[in-house]
Homo-oligomer: A and B are copies of this chain.
Amino acid sequence: MVCTKNTENNNLPRRQVLNIPAVVYGKTSAQLKEQYGVNELVLMNCNENPLGSSPLAIKAIQEEALNINRYPESGSSDLRQKLANHYGIEREMVLCSNGGDNIITTLMQTFLDEGDELVVGHPSFFVYGHTSGIMGAKLIKVPLKDYTYDLAAILQAVTPKTKMVIICNPNNPTSTILRQKEVDEFIAVLPQDCLVVFDEAYREFVEDKNYPDSLKYVKEDKNVLIIRTFSKLYGLAGLRIGYCLAPQKVMTYMARVVETFPVNRLAQVAAMAALDDKNFVTKVKAANALGKAYLIDELAKLGMKTAPAYANFIFTDTGMDSIKLVKDLEKRGILIRPAVSWGFPTCVRISIGTQAENEKLVKAIQEIKDEI
């Protein structure tokens, strides 16, 4: 949808909305296949789960499909209780919503006003800027250091107007992490009335033993909120189910703002089934670790350097014009993400695929390099 700037009706929307860029939707999968004359696309551009979803979740969906004439449980009670048990906290410290995106929308609606400042790393997840912009908050973007959130610089960016800091860990798009000690130190010195949000959409892929236990801060009743999702490890991106964890003194406000029926029925049953599917989780983690090591190695042989990668994607400096590389791959039906708009013109973000997909990508990049 290309929404052209309309100058006649500018007094209709809120002033802040005029600052939000017009929406341009990309091509659909069907359109891309037709354009490039390929039967299948290799989707390594959205950090999805290449192994599909938990079979238990799919079965739960297919059964529950018979009940979709009925509204979902408004409070996602059973799922929230299951998550609460999983984490050893109270159900009132868990909130589920329509994907991590909607958790973020709710977060901004609950806490950010015009004049408030939100501090984030840059580049990081683009949704922070969109949703905080709608509320009229000022987004303070602190450049990454070695592809990683720079906590010292973030601390320096904090002012009396700073209402919230978001730490995307692992960071999207760079796949790097912060560790326990540095986060502990950050939390200790940050003003206590500043809300710290940990976006941990990719946490389950991290194998580093010093990855922070952010739940500790929740249990300590700090002004902290953790965002997690079923989109990645559990392979339920298409269903839209994310959640957050926070002390009651934070969650009480989120719960007032969230909609009545944000989580569809199928997402509720699928998420519960997926939580129980240990086999699927084990398989996905193992395949991701192998695929990630394979890709980093093979790209290194092609002279491409990858940032330390802890999630289900890698951030690689190709040494080439990334827009051209991405287009050349697209013609072969392989989709990855260029990092130009994030300020890294030679870098790309690549989601780990199946082994066959990873091999196909490496072969294609080799061919493209050879053509130059």
A residues neighboring B (CB under 8 Å): 1-6, 8-9, 11-15, 17, 20-23, 25-26, 28-29, 43, 46, 48-53, 57-58, 61-62, 64-75, 77-78, 91-92, 98-99, 101-102, 105, 109-113, 127, 134, 193, 195, 223, 231, 235-240, 248-253, 255-257, 259-262, 264-267, 270
Q: Choose from B21, B109, B252, B264 the contact partner of A3 (Cβ within 8 Å).
A: B252
12 further A-B pairs in the complex, CB-CB below 8 A; given A4-B248, A17-B257: A1-B91, A21-B256, A23-B255, A48-B69, A61-B68, A65-B65, A67-B238, A68-B235, A68-B270, A98-B262, A134-B257, A264-B267
> A61 and B266: CB pair below 8 A?
yes
> B68 and A58: CB pair below 8 A?
yes
> B248 and A3: CB pair below 8 A?
yes
> How far does the Cβ of A262 sit from chain B's closest Cβ, in whole Å?
7
> B257 and A20: CB pair below 8 A?
yes
In the bound complex, residues from chain B placing their C-beta under 8 Å from that of A105 are 259
A260 to B62, CA, bound (A): 26
> How far does the Cβ of A94 sit from chain B's closest Cβ, in whole Å?
9
> B70 and A12: CB pair below 8 A?
no
- Asked whether A260 and B110 contact (CB < 8 A) given A52-B69, A61-B68, the answer is no
Task: Jot down 7 A-B pairs with beta carbons below 8 A, ordered by A.
Answer: A3-B255, A15-B113, A25-B74, A58-B68, A61-B65, A61-B266, A101-B259
Q: Which of A2, A15, A58 has the most CB of B within 10 A?
A: A58
In the bound complex, residues from chain B placing their C-beta under 8 Å from that of A6 are 248-249, 252
> A237 and B92: CB pair below 8 A?
no
Q: Choose from B29, B43, B62, B261 the contact partner of A101 (Cβ within 8 Å).
A: B261
Q: Across chains A and B, which 5 residue pairs bring their CB atoms closest together, nearest first?
A: A25-B75, A238-B265, A68-B238, A3-B252, A69-B235
Q: Choose from B21, B223, B260 the contact partner of A12 (Cβ within 8 Å).
A: B223
> How far does the Cβ of A78 sit from chain B's closest Cβ, in whole Å?
7
> B43 and A70: CB pair below 8 A?
yes
> How far does the Cβ of A63 sit from chain B's closest Cβ, in whole Å?
9
> How far does the Cβ of A349 sit from chain B's closest Cβ, in whole Å?
15
A372 to B15, CA, bound (A): 59
- Asked whether A260 and B101 contact (CB < 8 A) given A66-B52, A112-B14, the answer is yes
A251 to B50, CA, bound (A): 35
